[in-house]
């Protein structure tokens, strides 16, 4: 069992969740350090987590990646369900969610597959023809969670520090640098988002709009042209996120006024904003963020980089960082247990 300092690279939702879960498996005498370019008190175009919506919705599929993410998402749903009940100050809230698909892909018409991906959601049911909005071919309702990302990331970081964790702001060029961040570092956990030069990694540009208007539910609508629209109320008076775009490998840093106009026009038509909104939106800001994606899904594996050193990789969640976060953290810790890097249970 290695007892040197464990260094976690990255303070996005994956890094913070993973560091917190690792911390639960360490003896009090063992140190854990998060080193990152940004922390939750700042905003940056390349620091994706504060820009997220964020909410939970299943993504059905038959690939190995879909199966892996389903397991991670299911466990994260259970975690957020408990957290919302036990500590609303975390910025997590359970509310009603709906999906409206105008041109559902084949997997949404597979009854067994839909049951597998949705059955764990409280109150899940398909909407009847009379409940389904015009133009929609597949619709469902369930209880889900929404998150106020800046509040939640600060909550995770505060909890980590109060439990004895350490933080250091530093821009790493190579993950091997992390072994020099403290004395006797033998394990580094790479939650850097894009990795370091991984040829499979790429960004997905997203543009959304934050408005002050309250919204009664989170709704996701797939449009007939393949684009998506959504509204996500942020708990604790954080307004509502209206989205959004998914633009792979698009590095444009500035928001598009035309995109904003389209997002707001769709929201006025389709989403349950309170009557006093009158179809008008009180815009707080346009948001552009870069989701760290990876071909084939997240890289979660242990890499030996010497006799006594190991890098555990956990990056590339794309737009599902919040949805997968706690399941990923559990998988990372399990991988560390299997490699003798942490103990099976917390040492007191």
> Is 244 labelled as part of a ligand binding site?
no
Is residue 311 within 8 Å of 305, Cβ to Cβ? Answer: yes
DSSP 250-290: ----SPPHHHHHHHHHHHHHHS-B-GGGTT---EEEEEEEE
- In 10 A of CB 183, how many CB atoms? 8
Binding site annotation covers 173?
A: yes
Could you tell me the two tokens for 301?
A: 């594996």
With beta carbons less than 8 A apart as the criterion, state whether 235 and 146 touch.
yes
Contacts 24+ apart (CB under 8 A), 344-348: 344/25, 345/25, 346/24, 346/25, 346/26, 347/25, 347/26, 347/27, 347/28, 348/27, 348/28
Query: Is-contact 210 283, C-beta < 8 A?
Result: yes
Q: Tell me whether residue 13 is annotated as binding.
A: no
The residues near 197 (Cβ < 8 Å, ≥ 6 apart) are: none
Q: How far apart are CA 58 and CA 320, in angstroms?
A: 10
51 neighbors 149 (Cβ within 8 angstroms): yes
Annotation: binding site for D-dopa: 291, 319
Annotation: binding site for FAD: 173
Annotation: binding site: 173, 291, 319
């Amino acid at each position: 069992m290695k007892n040197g300092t464990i260094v976690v690279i990255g303070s996005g939702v994956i890094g913070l969740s993973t560091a917190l879960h690792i911390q639960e498996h360490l003896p009090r005498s063992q140190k854990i350090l998060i080193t990152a370019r940004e922390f939750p008190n700042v905003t940056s175009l390349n620091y994706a987590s504060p820009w997220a919506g964020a909410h939970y919705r299943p993504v059905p599929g038959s690939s190995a990646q879909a199966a892996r993410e389903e397991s991670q998402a299911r466990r994260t749903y259970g975690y957020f369900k408990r957290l919302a009940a036990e500590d609303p100050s975390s910025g997590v809230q359970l509310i009603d969610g709906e999906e409206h698909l105008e041109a559902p892909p084949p997997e949404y018409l597979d009854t067994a597959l839909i049951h597998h991906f949705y059955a764990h959601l409280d109150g899940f049911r398909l909407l009847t023809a009379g409940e389904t909005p015009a133009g929609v071919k597949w619709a469902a309702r369930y209880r889900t969670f929404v998150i106020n990302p800046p509040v939640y990331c600060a909550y995770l970081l505060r909890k980590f520090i109060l439990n004895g964790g350490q933080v250091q702001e530093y821009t790493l060029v190579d993950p091997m640098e992390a072994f020099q961040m403290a004395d006797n570092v033998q394990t580094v956990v790479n939650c850097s988002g894009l990795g370091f030069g991984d040829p499979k990694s790429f960004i997905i540009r997203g543009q959304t709009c934050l408005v002050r208007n309250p919204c009664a539910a989170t709704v996701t609508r797939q449009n007939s042209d393949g684009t998506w629209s959504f509204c996500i109320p942020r708990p604790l008076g954080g307004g509502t996120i209206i989205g959004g775009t998914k633009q792979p490998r698009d590095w444009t840093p500035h928001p598009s006024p035309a995109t904003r106009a389209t997002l707001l026009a769709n929201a006025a038509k389709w989403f349950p904003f309170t009557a006093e909104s009158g179809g008008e939106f009180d815009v707080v800001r346009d948001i552009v963020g870069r989701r760290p994606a990876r071909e084939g899904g997240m890289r979660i594996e242990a890499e030996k980089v010497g006799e006594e050193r190991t890098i555990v990789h956990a990056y590339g969640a794309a737009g599902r960082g919040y949805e997968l976060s706690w399941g990923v953290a559990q998988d990372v810790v399990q991988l560390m247990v299997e490699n003798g890097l942490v103990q099976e249970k917390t040492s007191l």
